[in-house]
Structure 1
Amino acid sequence: MSVSFAFRRILLGSAAMLACGVVAGVGAGGANAEDLRPAVGKPLAAAKAELARHNYAKAQADVNEADAVGGKSSYEDFIITEMRGAIAQQAGDTKTAANAYEKLIASGKLSSAQQAQMTLAIASMAYSAHDYDRAITWLDRYTKLAGPNPQTTRLKIQAYYEKKDYANAAKLQQAQIDQTVKAGGKPAEEQLQLLSACQRAMNDTAGFTHTLELLVTYYPKPDYWQNLVHGIQTDPSFPAHLSFELQRLQLALGLLGDEAAYMDATESAVQDGALGEGKSIMAAGTSAGVMGKADAAREQRLAALIDKRIAAKTASLPKDEAAAANEKDGSDLVDDGITEASLGNSDKGIALIQQGIAKGGLRFPDQAKLDLGYAQMKAGKKADAVATFKSVTPGTPESRLSRLWVLYLKTH
């Protein structure tokens, strides 16, 4: 990631203004010209004329002639160095220009404002020359002279990033983002991107995930959601029993994928008792033009099986729910609630899941909360869904999904 063209132009512009100031002061016939002996002033005036014609080699030769004069005063030496830096800067010789500006700063003849401007020019030229250590050093000096500046902080972050010092780049970028968020602002997308790139390079999975969550909060683009989902999919510690919970999120985000993925999600729905949901997933896949292709015969058999199971379960639900109410734990209540909600009986399904959670004895109580939050969301009870998802135990695999559902509900 490199500094933007516009920002580079602003920084290099500071050096250009310095050059223009030097050129204007030589041979103008004022106090400066009177302080220069003719042996020094004449070749410097010639250098100025050559510089105006962009004849940089001849201009530097004229400066060398002035520099060769013996017994120069400190002021003459200062003007020669200033002109040398101006020519080098305009010629694109950043190393010579930066060396000249460093000598000018060390002379003690510059005001604080001039020192700051020249310091920033040196930092800019060092960055352009890919000398990132030097750029960072001079950016630090600029901060001491002129105070903190969002633009120069940004350049310093990028210098750290370019030299692969990801820890320092991430530290500074995180501080800048935190400051913006604390003030109620919206972090720039490229700041979040750079931070995530640093975290990925350092294998900081937790930090990378958090930054992706910020990206989908402020810039909810499919690519950022896909990265979050992919992180869960490829995590070997993510439990298999939550696969359908993840597929639900993928479906909501439009990220479920190809025909095989839709078939897998349909079968997962059936296995979890969400029969109506399985039927809806197949319909969504057909509508999207994904299903009904290579595996059309198998899909038809699955659709017929779902219809058969829906008919049988619809007939048995009253009896099943009565029996579930008398069970020692709430597992069957939750299962029947999932089925009812999937068949469009949202209020009844939500109530049953809530009863099951309250009764307790569940093998995966936080997964039941995911099922409840999803049912509430599908029923249009957004505030209830957010509250339910937030109640999932922090640090659990289920909480990874619940956080994403909260973000989804905030951005959709």
Structure 2
Amino acid sequence: MKTNRLLAALLLAAGLLQLQAAHAVSAAVAKPLKEASDLVRAGKAKEALAKLNGVTGSGPDDNYMLARIRGAAYQRMGDNGAAAQQLEAAFATGKVPSGEAGQLAETIAGIYAQQHNNAKAMQWVEKAKADGDNSAGVRQIQDYVQGSSGDYGQIARDNAAKVQAAVSGGRRPEEDDLLRLADAYRHTGNKVGDLQVKEQLVTYYPTNKQYAGIYLSDLPGKPGFSSRFSLDLLRLRLASGNLTSADDYLEMAQLLLQAQLPAEAKMVVDKGYAAGVLGTGAQAARQQRLRDLVNKTAADNAATLAKRAADAKAGKTGDDLVAIGAEYASMGKYDEGIELIQQGIAKDSLKRPEDAKLRLGVAMLQSGKGKAAAVKQLRTVQGTDGAVDVARAYIALGAGQ
């Protein structure tokens, strides 16, 4: 816990004594108060306390200012116990200016947090908030106290409320609020909530590729998540800058070949070579053989694509149309691909209709034409096997390429 800002606030309040604008102190205490204020500001806390030794006030205004100066002096000396006692006495006079009550309560809360007196710290946090202080400082003290006490359930509730309030108000949630919420969910074993927060971190802070990497690595661990979406996760890792090793590139290229998407496999291998990840080291020859296979397969498939599309249109089910449409999209021929996938869905005889909806949404997102429409399509995906999660990941990352 840092106290520099709090101490500065106290010293500023002490300096205002020179003007005697906030409180009409009695003549008997005005001179020693001013002298003590100057000494505190000069860093001479002991001398300031000595100057006020034996000085008593004749009313609440006097008592308030005496307690504030003594509190500032004690805090400057590092005697937080005495500082808290004096500042509480100042608060109790009822003479705290309305604009300073929340800050004073925050200061007292911070002192008790430093002393690990969690009960008192939270009491003053609540007083600070009641007096309109909802600053980052108050939130920091509250989170520190709750974390040190192990009350992660309360941390989760408090930060979930902050995040929800921001989202409901059309604002981006604070990054720290999301991180504290994710940490609280991890401590309380709320895996579903933890994953949801990671999705929000990716959605609201998309430039942080670390958030995307963690989110995508956690998705396969969700109960019921199907391995058939492994390729989608690799696509999303590539798009978010989280595909970095040669093994990652090789695995993705091989999965794409198995999925009969050699054009996309070629794109992935070419990116691996361009990044200097492939084509070097002991595995360079093996990687070159894969590259040759990918190039040949891509050329062969391109030569037969039109005929295969015609055959798919004549078929009884829409599965082949969806597959051929996805292949067109993987080649960058998005208009043709989207149209074929739509025709496949329209046949209404699909083995996995939710997967088809996902392919359509991904192709629309990849096309770069009308992201809102693509997001709308992806949000139609349903199911419990991971299709919904993958659709949400594409939305969160805005990833298509």
Give the alignment's TM-score, normalised by structure 2: 0.80
Deviation string, structure 1 residues 10-37 (Cα, Å, up to 9, x no partner): 4333433455578999xxxx834289xx
1:126 shift after superposition: 1.8
Equivalent residues of 2:322, 2:356 under 8 A apart: yes
Matches within 5 A, 1:156-175: 156-159=141-144, 160-175=146-161
SS in 2 for 1:139: helix
Deviation string, structure 1 residues 21-61 (Cα, Å, up to 9, x no partner): 78999xxxx834289xxxxx99x999889868756557657
Deviation string, structure 1 residues 185-204 (Cα, Å, up to 9, x no partner): 33333333333332333332
Show structure 2 runs of 5+ residues with no match: none
Is residue 393 of structure 2 the alignment partner of residue 408 of structure 1? no
Is residue 10 of structure 2 the alignment partner of residue 15 of structure 1? yes
The corresponding residue for 2:313 is 325
Which of the numbers 120, 124, 139 marks the counterpart of 1:154? 139
CA distance 1:23–1:82, shift in 2 (3 Å): farther
Deviation string, structure 1 residues 56-103 (Cα, Å, up to 9, x no partner): 557657767x39xxxx89869958766653431221211111122324
1:275 shift after superposition: 1.4
CA distance 1:56–1:411, shift in 2 (3 Å): farther
Is residue 371 of structure 2 the alignment partner of residue 386 of structure 1? no
94-103 or 128-137: which moved more? 128-137
CA distance in 2, matches of 1:59, 1:166: 42
The corresponding residue for 2:176 is 190
CA distance in 1, matches of 2:385, 2:72: 62
Deviation string, structure 1 residues 307-345 (Cα, Å, up to 9, x no partner): 443444345445544443344422222222233333444
CA distance in 1, matches of 2:336, 2:259: 18
The corresponding residue for 2:278 is 291
The corresponding residue for 1:38 is none
Equivalent residues of 2:341, 2:356 under 8 A apart: yes
Deviation string, structure 1 residues 155-200 (Cα, Å, up to 9, x no partner): 4542323433222223222323333333333333333333333233
Is residue 343 of structure 2 the alignment partner of residue 358 of structure 1? no
* Equivalent position amino acid for 1:240 in 2: S
1:284 shift after superposition: 1.0
* Equivalent position amino acid for 1:186 in 2: R
CA distance 1:121–1:24, shift in 2 (3 Å): farther
CA distance in 2, matches of 1:124, 1:31: 31
CA distance 1:16–1:272, shift in 2 (3 Å): same
* Equivalent position amino acid for 1:227 in 2: I
* Equivalent position amino acid for 2:252 in 1: A
* Equivalent position amino acid for 2:127 in 1: R
CA distance in 1, matches of 2:128, 2:344: 64
CA distance in 1, matches of 2:16, 2:325: 79
SS in 2 for 1:300: helix
Show structure 1 runs of 5+ residues with no match: 36-40
SS in 1 for 2:112: helix
The corresponding residue for 1:230 is 217
Q: Let me know the Cα RMSD of the aligned residues.
A: 3.7
Which of the numbers 88, 112, 120 marks the counterpart of 1:126? 112
Which of the numbers 143, 166, 175 marks the counterpart of 1:180? 166
* Equivalent position amino acid for 1:197 in 2: D
1:281 shift after superposition: 1.0
CA distance in 2, matches of 1:94, 1:359: 75
CA distance 1:398–1:102, shift in 2 (3 Å): same
Deviation string, structure 1 residues 204-258 (Cα, Å, up to 9, x no partner): 2332333233323332111111121111244464211111121121222222221
CA distance 1:394–1:134, shift in 2 (3 Å): farther
The corresponding residue for 2:249 is 262
CA distance 1:276–1:267, shift in 2 (3 Å): same
* Equivalent position amino acid for 1:207 in 2: G
Equivalent residues of 2:378, 2:392 under 8 A apart: yes
The corresponding residue for 1:207 is 193
Equivalent residues of 2:108, 2:124 under 8 A apart: yes
Which of the numbers 267, 272, 281 marks the counterpart of 2:259? 272
* Equivalent position amino acid for 1:179 in 2: A
Equivalent residues of 1:84, 1:100 under 8 A apart: yes
The corresponding residue for 1:245 is 232
CA distance 1:105–1:362, shift in 2 (3 Å): same
Is residue 77 of structure 2 the alignment partner of residue 91 of structure 1? yes
CA distance in 2, matches of 1:119, 1:83: 16
CA distance 1:304–1:73, shift in 2 (3 Å): closer
CA distance 1:89–1:274, shift in 2 (3 Å): same
* Equivalent position amino acid for 2:175 in 1: E
* Equivalent position amino acid for 1:325 in 2: K
* Equivalent position amino acid for 1:401 in 2: V
Identity %: 30
Give the alignment's TM-score, normalised by structure 1: 0.79
Matches within 5 A, 1:300-339: 300-339=288-327
* Equivalent position amino acid for 2:111 in 1: M
How many equivalent residue pairs?
390
Equivalent residues of 1:192, 1:215 under 8 A apart: yes
